[in-house]
């Protein structure tokens, strides 16, 4: 029983490391790393890269879980290769495409990374993933994550930003999925508007939903026990 995990933008697979230890050991967790990829120009191409990884491992049925941008990729994968999926999980992600204002912000992000580089971008970006209380109490972890993610190539970050900016709306994909779909939402998320997340919850045919009152954009770190509880129930349903 295989579970494939996709990290988010400006991250690497380490974001899942402590979380999977809280999940049942009967599953095989595979964390894919696209953080250094600069050859994918669209979210669809990232999804095709995932499929190549799946085929190389000779996996025919699995659960796909994505965080943030990883969720965008997971939805694109579900659109093209739904027959492989026993379940789909979205941590702090959305099926909506970018609104015009968000696209302008993506342009500013690309210009900033091009001009200042990865380290300066990560310094400002990464702490915003977490609620203020978590940042205050987990300084060692935040510093380590900053050090690790500052090593990401700026070309990969810029290309990922282009892909996110131009991704299409995939709410039709979300609506038609009959497999279990997990949706984890943080009420303090600065990247995914809470109202948008709740609207998408109503689209799910087979929902497993967790709303975290005090979490921002990284429930697997901010509220790991709550997220692990729902994820365990979700995985059991997927492989039932």
Q: What is the DSSP letter of 97?
A: P
pLDDT (tens digit per residue) in 67-114: 999 999 999 999 999 999 999 999 999 999 999 999 999 999 999 999
Quote the number of domains for the chain: 1
Joined tokens for residue 198: 């709740």
Q: Which domain holds residue 179?
A: 2-238
Domain of 95: which CATH number?
A: 3.40.50.1820
pLDDT (tens digit per residue) in 106-143: 999 999 999 999 999 999 999 999 999 999 999 999 99
Q: Which residues contact 3 (CB under 8 A, 6 or more apart)?
A: 27, 28, 29, 30, 62, 63, 64, 65, 235
Helices and strands, counts by H and E, the chain: 12, 6
Walk across the sheet containing 28-32 and list its strands. 28-32, 2-6, 62-67, 85-91, 181-186, 207-212
Q: Is there a contact between 19 and 228 (Cβ–Cβ < 8 Å)?
A: yes
């Amino acid at each position: 029983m295989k579970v494939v995990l996709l990290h988010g933008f400006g991250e690497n697979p380490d974001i899942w490391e402590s979380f999977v230890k809280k999940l049942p050991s009967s599953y095989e967790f595979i964390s894919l790393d696209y953080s250094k990829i600069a050859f994918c120009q669209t979210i669809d191409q990232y999804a095709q890269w995932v499929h190549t990884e799946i085929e190389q491992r000779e996996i025919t049925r699995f659960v796909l879980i994505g965080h943030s941008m990883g969720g965008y990729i997971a939805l694109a994968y579900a659109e093209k290769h739904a027959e492989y999926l026993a379940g789909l999980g979205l941590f702090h992600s959305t099926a909506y495409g970018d609104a015009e204002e968000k696209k302008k912000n993506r342009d500013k992000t690309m210009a900033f990374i091009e001009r200042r580089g990865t380290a300066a971008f990560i310094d400002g970006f990464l702490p915003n993933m977490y609620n203020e209380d978590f940042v205050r109490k987990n300084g060692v972890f935040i510093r380590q994550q900053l050090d690790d993610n500052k090593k990401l190539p700026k070309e990969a970050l810029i290309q990922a930003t282009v892909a996110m900016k131009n991704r299409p709306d995939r709410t039709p994909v979300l609506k038609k999925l009959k497999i279990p779909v997990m949706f984890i939402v943080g009420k303090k998320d600065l990247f995914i508007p809470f109202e948008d997340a709740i609207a998408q919850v109503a689209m799910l045919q087979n929902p497993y939903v967790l709303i975290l009152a005090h979490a921002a954009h990284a429930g697997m770190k901010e509220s790991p026990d709550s997220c692990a509880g729902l994820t365990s129930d979700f995985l059991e349903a997927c492989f039932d």
